[in-house]
């Protein structure tokens, strides 16, 4: 048999998937060894893969990295200690005869949704993850857009409010500060003050906001509408530039499901320029496995 | 000899260029015949080309159309009376053995700047025209992005101010209402009221605004800063999604030259997320010929 490995590298753990084409055979997790600026990580991964299958069984390795990547070269990945690192070349030094593709982790997750998830029916789409932050990936005609300096798909840092909330990146008004789980909680904590809302009874989480909104808690509904309205503005801007077939919405916040998707789509359509009105909205379906699926798919 | 024709169709005239590769040999203009919902336009153009060169000399026709296009199919072009029209198929009915590419006119102009203009050094860039409106085109890895419904590159209708100025498209707050020649005049007419500025001495045009700004007229400088700041926001948003190598700025407003470009670049850099800080800014150089150059280049 011939197998591909999908490898999603995070700051604390590496997720690996052994794939037959796009079929996931087995998942593994190993602890990320970030000693000495992460110089052992690739060796650690290649050794692990060598233990699992024979070299003649290995067709390719796809890898997702938390940082900007272009043509297999990682510009920087602070969580791993990497800087200006030709990762593709190093993997090929262990396995000279396989196919290797290295990508940004959110971009790989975007591709994963094409392999087996919410984007299967589309060739050109934009994937948006609403988690602690807001991430994304752009797929056009089935291929990832990496960007000139590996910075494509960094949707979370698209400005949506001039001089708005301060972002961890140092800029102000990034959409990440409004439509991520963190941003939604921040909005809730502002709006609930002095109001009659069940948001004052429990620790506020993004899940609580959506759960209460579904039960028509007035303040929770306001918070959801506010965060989804700003996200719809960002998506409408993306749509005027790329006119993708669809937006695929993932990340923990998207567990609010069709309730979230319907509000987002409605607000998007209010702002959509005419050719953009056919844009479809779908939920991501692979959750945390999107990365390894996309990595495996990338070397197809 | 073998020639390509670049054909840029407007509502009142058709510009044609006879090209040897990307070298323009001769330009022509004919009046657009928009009778009967423009059903004679393609015949008119093909007849014209047949008169100019022998069929065995013709390699290809590239055509720019004022409306959304995908795969040679024009969804709608109101100025020509076209709707759901397979233009590529009709051209091939006249010239069965040539290469044909049909694109949106602004997208073709974007490609023209790659053929011979301000984008020659780049493979992935976004072209922005500041004219009566704001248009654009996206080129990635040397290829035009058409969009799922031919609506890619419609940068002018990217929202930059929620509930802002009413646009001709029916939406509010499109960047076109602020950074086009029209938008700049509108801003000037608001800001000059009751102020000591030479903008009160003459009919306000976009050119006058830039000319006075260069002479440090305080109100004119304010108008320029305001319009370029909003444009920089839109370009920074595009950059987080695509991370292009460069923005190429064209259209009549860009005749203000490096003065405009420097202000725009400075404001962009203030808003740019880190991987976007290497983005280059260039002026378009082909003016009204960009369309025919891009059309010729598209069939290369």
ipTM comes to 0.94
Closest Cα in chain A, distance from residue B146 (Å): 8
Q: What is the 3-state secondary structure (H, E, C) of chain A?
A: CCEEEEEEECCCEEEEEEEECCEEEEEEEEECCCHHHHCCHHHHHHHHHHHHCCHHHEEEEEEEECCCEECCEEEEECCCCEEEEEHHHHHHHHCCCCEEEEEEHHHHHHHHHHHHCCCCCCCCEEEEEECCCEEEEEEECCEECCCCCCCCCCHHHCECCCCCCECCCCCECECHHHHCHHHHHHHHHHHCCCCCCHHHCCCCCHHHHHHHHHCCCHHHHHHHHHHHHHHHHHHHHHHHHHCCCEEEEECHHHHHCHHHHHHHHHHHHHHCCHHHCCCEEEECCCHHHHHHHHHHHHCC
Q: Is the pLDDT of residue A43 over 90?
A: yes
Q: pLDDT at position B1, please?
A: 85
- Is this prediction's pTM over 0.90? yes
What pLDDT, on a 0 to 100 scale, did the predictor assign at position A54?
86
| pLDDT of A193 higher than 90 | yes
Which residue of chain A is at minimal alpha-carbon distance from B173? A271
**Strand positions, DSSP E, B131-277:** 134-140, 143-144, 246-250
CB-closest option in A68, A162, A241 to B158: A241
User: Using an 8 Å Cβ cutoff, are A103 and A80 in contact?
Assistant: no
Stretch A105-133: mean pLDDT = 96
Give the residue ranges of chain B where pLDDT is below 70.
none
Give the pLDDT score at A125.
Answer: 98
Tell me: pLDDT of A179 over 90.
Answer: yes
Q: Is residue A278's pLDDT more than 90? A: yes
Angle, vertex CA A15, rays to CA A12 and CA A19, nearest 5: 170
For residue B66, what pLDDT is reported? 93
| Dihedrals phi, psi of B52, to nearest 5 degrees | -85, -40
Of A147, A233, A273, the CB nearest to B243: A147
Per-residue pLDDT at A35 exceeds 90: yes
pLDDT at A91 over 90: yes
Q: Which residues of B touch A169 (CB under 8 A)?
A: 273-274
Q: Which of B136, B151, B156 sits opposite A276 (nearest CB)?
A: B151
CB contact under 8 A, A152 and B243: yes
Q: How far are the Cα atoms of A88, A103, A177, B63, B139 from residue A293, in angstroms, in the given order?
A: 19, 13, 28, 40, 28
pLDDT value at residue B54: 86
**Mean per-residue pLDDT, A117-133:** 96
Model pLDDT, residue B34: 87
| Residues on chain A bordering chain B, Cβ-to-Cβ distance under 8 angstroms | 68, 75, 124, 126, 136, 138, 140, 145-159, 162, 169, 171, 174, 233-234, 236-245, 271, 273-276, 278-279
The pLDDT, as a whole number, for residue B55 is 80
Interface probe for A, chosen from B73, B127, B147 (most Cβ of A below 10 Å), is: B147
Of B75, B169, B275, the CB nearest to A273: B169
Closest-CA residue to A260 (of A157, A108, A251, A174): A251
Query: CA B197 to CA A186: how far, in whole Å?
Result: 44
Chain B neighbors of A245, CB-CB under 8 A:
148
* Nearest C-alpha in A relative to B153: A241
In this prediction, residue A275 carries a pLDDT of: 85
CB contact under 8 A, B275 and A147: yes
Q: Please tell me the predicted confidence (pLDDT) of residue B276.
A: 92
pLDDT for position B6: 98
Confidence check: pLDDT of A300 > 90: no
Instruction: Let me know the angle formed at the C-alpha of B215 by B212 and B221, rounded to the nearest 5 degrees.
Output: 60
Q: What is the pLDDT of residues B111-134, one digit of tens each?
A: 999 999 999 999 999 999 999 999
* pLDDT surpassing 90 at residue A34: no
State the pLDDT at residue A188.
98
């Amino acid at each position: 048999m011939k197998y591909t490995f999908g490898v999603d590298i995070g700051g604390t753990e590496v997720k690996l998937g052994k794939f037959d084409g796009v079929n996931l055979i087995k998942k593994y997790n190993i602890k990320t060894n970030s000693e000495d600026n992460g110089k052992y990580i690739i060796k650690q991964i290649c050794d692990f893969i060598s233990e699992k299958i024979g070299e003649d069984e290995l067709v390719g390795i796809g890898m997702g990295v938390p940082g900007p990547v272009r043509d297999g070269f990682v510009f920087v990945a602070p969580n791993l200690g990497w800087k200006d690192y030709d990762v593709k070349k190093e993997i090929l030094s262990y396995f000279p005869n396989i196919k290797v593709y290295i990508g940004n982790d959110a971009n790989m997750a975007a591709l994963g949704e094409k392999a087996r998830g919410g984007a299967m029916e589309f060739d050109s789409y934009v994937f948006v993850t609403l988690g602690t932050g807001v991430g994304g990936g752009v797929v056009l005609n089935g291929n990832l857009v990496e960007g000139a300096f590996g910075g494509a798909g960094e949707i979370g840092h698209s400005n949506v409010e001039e001089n708005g909330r301060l972002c961890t990146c140092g800029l102000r008004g990034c959409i990440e500060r409004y439509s991520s789980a963190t941003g939604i909680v921040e909005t809730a904590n502002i709006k609930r003050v002095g109001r009659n809302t069940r948001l004052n009874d429990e620790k506020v989480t993004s899940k609580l906001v959506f759960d209460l909104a579904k039960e028509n808690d007035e303040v929770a509904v306001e918070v959801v509408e506010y965060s989804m309205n700003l996200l719809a503005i960002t998506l409408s801007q993306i749509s005027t530039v790329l006119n993708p077939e669809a937006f695929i919405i993932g990340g923990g916040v998207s567990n609010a499901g069709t309730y979230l998707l319907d509000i987002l789509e409605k607000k998007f359509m209010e702002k959509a320029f005419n050719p953009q009105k056919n844009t479809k909205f779908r939920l991501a379906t692979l959750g945390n496995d999107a990365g390894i699926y996309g990595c495996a798919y990338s070397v197809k």
